[in-house]
Amino acid sequence: MGKIAEILVRREYEKQGKKLPDKFWLLPEYKRKYAMQCMMASKFLRSYDQDVILAVLEQEKWCYSLAAKVLAEKFEIEKNKRRIQAQMKERAQKNKAEDTPAQENLPEFRTKNGKTFKEDE
């Protein structure tokens, strides 16, 4: 939550041409804005992972407040995209496991000299 709020407050002040000091949230001048962004971030963190929110904020460089109305839709899109990617990765791993036969199930073959060997040796 704090990381999200920090990014947004820094963006807002950088847009105004101001560089914020380290631990700016402890200074009375910036404390209120930081607290407001933390409150909004906590609202979104109930529904979305921090990684989803940070990914959207990384894409939307113009955004310096979680109050932007388009963000909820973008968070939902990113959440669904990540869910689908995870499902596809899981399916690929499952298919890969099914496609590779177990060593012990391979048939044995005999050569002319009478030795036996497995197909993949």
| Confidence at 53, pLDDT banded by 50, 70, 90 | very high
pLDDT in tens, 19-42: 888 888 889 998 998 999 999 999
Q: Mean of the pLDDT values across residues 6-11?
A: 90
pTM of this prediction?
Answer: 0.66
pLDDT of residue 121: 46
For the record, the structure tokens of 112 come out as 């002319």
Task: Return the bridge partners of 110, or none.
Answer: 116
Q: Which DSSP string do the residues of 35-48 spell out, in sequence order? A: HHHHHHHHHHHTTS
Domain ranges of the chain: 2-99
